[in-house]
């Protein structure tokens, strides 16, 4: 009797999932009986599985948010709908896959209003992944869970929007089960992802940071001060470099290049003598003799460097050298702002392309934007996940040629 009742519940759970109309208010809760039960316990015949199979694509936004994520989701949904797919939006990144938290995207959620909005309608989670029992899931365990859920939900493909950490994660999942079709979409304000000239989010952060520096320039000019502006970017100096060039900064310090204090002071003095103010843009992971970044242990499995504070260290040292210097740390305002048109376009191109590739039964891969074209690199061909600035890069050469001090 109990077995028959359980079978019935399993079938109901399966049919609910196959229908278009999952109650949005319920989707944050765990399903009483997941699709796993229906399929994994083989309660349904192969024929039933076949006939009930609804074309379905999943999408998730992993890691920290940035502008342009909603544009990816919007275009992916539009394209998927046109091809006749149901689109599942997993909430809180991989957490939503593992814990069965998702929304079925529709026109009310995914309309053009979201295009200019920063953040992600699917929410973000950068905390460690916990299992059912509240214990931390290691990579092996979480990969297994993702694979299990992918099959249980009968996904035709998964659009995995993420940073460079996500590429490694996708590769590991595919090593364990190559039958999954996963298309990686590069996003990050840091712009440090391999196989793409630009990641979604970078155009907006460049605007936001440049606007903030401009606001600082006006007060620097009136008060005849030196400002040291600290920007995000983790181990990559792209944000500092591009926004520094765009605002005519005097000094740009990036983690990829060492700097000499005496040369920095010499440049600040020269600029100050010429125009009675100076701007130093510094990337958060730049170190000084006085300050080295420490790693912080987030969990048993996750070690992460703690960044922040370099602007104050430099401003204080400049004060000792006689300058009226102030430090400004831009912080998380860099992750918001009205999404730049370039990010809306890039995001939509990536979103639409990802669905097209899944629909074509193409191989798993990572999308990128190279030489003004959207390209895909097959996951098997990916050997590195990170892209970093080099002394020979066009933008560094440009900064040098304009007399900006960018280190040695």
List of residues contacting ligand F6P (CB under 6 A): 64, 126, 188-190, 232-234, 284, 307, 335
How far apart are CB 194 and ligand F6P at their closest, in Å? 15
DSSP state of 381: G
CB 325 within 8 A of CB 315: yes
**Nearer residue to ligand F6P within complex by CB, 232 or 264:** 232
- Of 207, 238, 216, 235, which Cα lies nearest the Cα of 327? 216
How far apart are CB 110 and ligand F6P at their closest, in Å? 25
Give the gyration radius of the chain's Cα atoms. Answer: 24
CB 94 within 8 A of CB 146: yes
Catalytic residue among 65, 156, 190, 192: 190
CB 70 within 8 A of CB 56: no
**Nearer residue to ligand F6P within complex by CB, 256 or 284:** 284
How far apart are CB 23 and ligand F6P at their closest, in Å? 32
The CA-based angle 391-334-318, given to 5 degrees, is 60
**Nearer residue to ligand F6P within complex by CB, 12 or 302:** 302
DSSP state of 60: E
Which runs of consecutive H residues, i.e. helices, occur in 276-382? 310-320, 341-359
**Nearer residue to ligand F6P within complex by CB, 207 or 353:** 207
How far apart are CB 166 and ligand F6P at their closest, in Å? 11
**Chain mean position to CA 53:** 31
| Residue 273 backbone phi and psi in degrees, to 5 | -60, -35
How far apart are CB 63 and ligand F6P at their closest, in Å? 7
DSSP string, 208-255: HHHHHHHHHHHHHHHHT-EEEEEE--TT--HHHHHHHHHTT-SEEE-T
d(CA 380, CA 386): 16
**Nearer residue to ligand F6P within complex by CB, 79 or 335:** 335
**Nearer residue to ligand F6P within complex by CB, 94 or 104:** 94
**Nearer residue to ligand F6P within complex by CB, 66 or 174:** 66
How far apart are CB 98 and ligand F6P at their closest, in Å? 20
d(CA 198, CA 189): 10
362 noted as active-site residue: no
**Nearer residue to ligand F6P within complex by CB, 284 or 343:** 284
Cβ-closest residue to ligand F6P? 232
How far apart are CB 239 and ligand F6P at their closest, in Å? 7
How far apart are CB 286 and ligand F6P at their closest, in Å? 12
d(CA 294, CA 303): 10
d(CA 337, CA 326): 24
Beta strand pairing status for 251-253 and 278-283?
A: parallel
Residues 6+ apart with CB under 8 A from 14: 35, 38, 39, 44, 52
CB half-sphere exposure, 236, CA atoms < 13 A: 21
d(CA 117, CA 127): 23
Specify the 3-state DSSP secondary structure of 275: helix
d(CA 373, CA 384): 20
Positions marked catalytic: 190
């Amino acid at each position: 009797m109990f077995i028959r009742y359980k079978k019935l519940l399993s079938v109901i759970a399966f049919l609910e999932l196959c229908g278009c109309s999952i109650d949005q208010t319920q989707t944050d809760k765990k399903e009483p009986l997941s699709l796993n039960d229906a399929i994994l316990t083989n309660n349904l015949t192969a024929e039933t599985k076949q006939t009930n199979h609804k074309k379905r694509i999943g999408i998730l936004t992993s890691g920290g948010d940035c502008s342009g994520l909603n544009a990816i989701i919007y275009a992916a949904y539009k394209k998927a709908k046109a091809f006749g797919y149901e689109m599942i939006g997993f909430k809180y990144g991989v957490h939503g896959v593992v814990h069965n938290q998702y929304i079925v995207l529709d026109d009310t959620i995914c309309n053009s209003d979201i295009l200019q909005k920063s953040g992600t309608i699917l929410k973000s989670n950068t905390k460690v992944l916990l299992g059912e029992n509240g214990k931390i899931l290691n990579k092996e365990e979480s990969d297994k869970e993702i694979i299990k859920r992918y099959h249980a939900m009968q996904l035709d493909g998964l659009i995995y929007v993420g940073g460079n950490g996500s590429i490694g994660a996708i590769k590991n999942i595919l090593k364990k089960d190559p039958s999954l079709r996963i298309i990686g979409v590069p996003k990050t304000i840091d712009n440090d992802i391999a196989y793409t000239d630009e990641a979604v989010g970078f155009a907006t952060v460049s605007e936001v940071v440049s606007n903030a520096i401009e606001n600082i320039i006006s007060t620097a000019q009136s008060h005849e001060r030196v400002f040291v502006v600290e920007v995000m970017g983790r181990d990559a100096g792209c944000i500092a470099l591009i926004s520094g060039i765009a605002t005519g900064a005097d000094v740009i310090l990036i983690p990829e290049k060492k700097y000499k204090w005496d040369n920095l002071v010499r440049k600040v003095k020269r600029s100050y003598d010429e125009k009675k103010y100076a701007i130093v843009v510094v990337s958060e992971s730049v170190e000084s003799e006085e300050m080295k970044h420490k790693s912080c242990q987030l969990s048993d499995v996750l070690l992460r460097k703690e960044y922040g504070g370099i602007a104050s260290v430099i401003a204080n040292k400049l004060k000792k050298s006689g300058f009226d210097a102030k430090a400004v740390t831009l912080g998380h305002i860099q992750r918001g702002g009205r999404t730049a048109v370039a990010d809306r376009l890039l995001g939509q191109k990536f979103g639409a392309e990802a669905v097209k590739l899944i629909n074509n039964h193409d191989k798993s891969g990572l999308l990128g934007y190279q030489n003004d074209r959207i390209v895909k690199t097959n996951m098997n061909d990916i050997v590195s996940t990170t892209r970093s600035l080099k002394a020979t890069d066009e933008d560094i050469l440009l900064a040098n040629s304009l007399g900006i001090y960018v280190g040695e």
